[in-house]
Amino acid sequence: MITVRGFELPVNIQAEIEQYDWKHPKWNEKNFIACSPFRDERHPSFAVHLKHGVWLDSGADNPDWNKGNFVTLMAYLRNETYGETEEYLLNKYGTCVPNPDDLILLVDLTEKKKPGRLDQAILRNYLFRHPYLENVRGIGERYQRVFQIGYDKKSRAITFPWFDKNGQLVNIKYRSIHGKMFWYYSGGQPVKDHLYGLNAVYRLKTAEAFIVESEIDAITLWQAGCPAVALGGANLSQQQRKLLIQSPIERLIIATDNDKAGERIAQSISENLGGYLLLEAIRLPENVKDVNELPPDELLSVISRPFSLKYVRIFS
């Protein structure tokens, strides 16, 4: 059982963890042990308690990322905000309440003020450049400028502004240059309500685009001459589905990560958008995780050979 917003939820911790690829995973009666998902390491130093979901990263240098609760871990794995992960767990496990009277408490009828758009002036704080994106990930200066990528000197993190389809700033993702940790601007809109790069699709009125998971993958494809949008998470939300259907995109090419989560997302996209858009997909070589890991020449070769996806729509 874990506690989410004051509610005890019977979360199947093992089932949630098994949805993702891990390096050197081991299971015992009490714990799951593997290499840390937050950084590169050869020997496992990361553990999750299977009953309570708390995790410990004994090899972490950053004190903010050496331990935490299950929501924090899932938010990282799902690539979304802490609040979005809370909603996911409440929606999935919140109906399993032993006392029927407690079920009423799960329905919050108080009107919540939705976060508004952010002031574009916030980005002035990050008008700096760090060599990580160009030297390590191959993202050139031109496209860093196009997508208004910046650098937060205080937290030592690359900043990825998120815009709505009209080009208004709605959130900022921060990605540490040390390890794989990330977080979002406090007070920003949920990224599940938007698609990274969709504002550029509208601006160019392109009818064809790739769909990927991360911002870096989307920029990689734009740099290769291919419009792309990113989910910013490990799931296709209903709002993102709606945005895609209403967008100028008619042909959508799936290029999710080459792992368990990527396969699950690709299947979800196919099931939710089949019949609305012409769907295709690419096959990544076994030795790469995502499109950003491909050398430029090989990337062009892979994305030039998409295959069609068939769908079956069942009416009840």
State phi, psi for 60 to the nearest 5 degrees: -75, 140
Per-residue pLDDT band for 112 (boundaries 50, 70, 90) equals low
Which has the closest alpha carbon to 214: 199, 201, 195, 188? 195
Determine how β-strand 208-212 pairs with β-strand 182-184: unpaired
Convert the pLDDT of each residue in 54-101 to its tens digit.
999 998 888 878 899 999 999 999 888 888 899 999 999 987 545 545
Could you please state the CATH topology (level 3) that the domain comprising 120-308 is classified under: Dna Topoisomerase Vi A Subunit; Chain: A, domain 2 (3.40.1360)
Whether the predicted pLDDT of 316 surpasses 70 = no
Rounded CA-CA distance 135/142 in Å is 14
Q: Which CATH class is domain 2-106?
A: alpha beta
Whether the predicted pLDDT of 113 surpasses 80 = no
Rounded CA-CA distance 95/235 in Å is 21
Q: What is residue 311's predicted lDDT score, i.e. its pLDDT? A: 59
CATH 3.90.580.10 in the chain, residue ranges: 2-106
Is 289 exposed, middle or buried (CB count within 10 Å of its CB: 0-12, 13-18, 19+)? Answer: middle
The maximal CA–CA distance of the chain, rounded, in angstroms, is: 61
Per-residue pLDDT band for 307 (boundaries 50, 70, 90) equals very high
Neighbours of 154 (CB within 10 A): 7
Whether the predicted pLDDT of 103 surpasses 50 = no
Integer angstrom CA distances of residue 167 from 78, 117, 201:
25, 10, 11
CATH 3.40.1360.10 in the chain, residue ranges: 120-308
Q: What is residue 199's predicted lDDT score, i.e. its pLDDT? A: 98
Name residue 52's amino acid: H
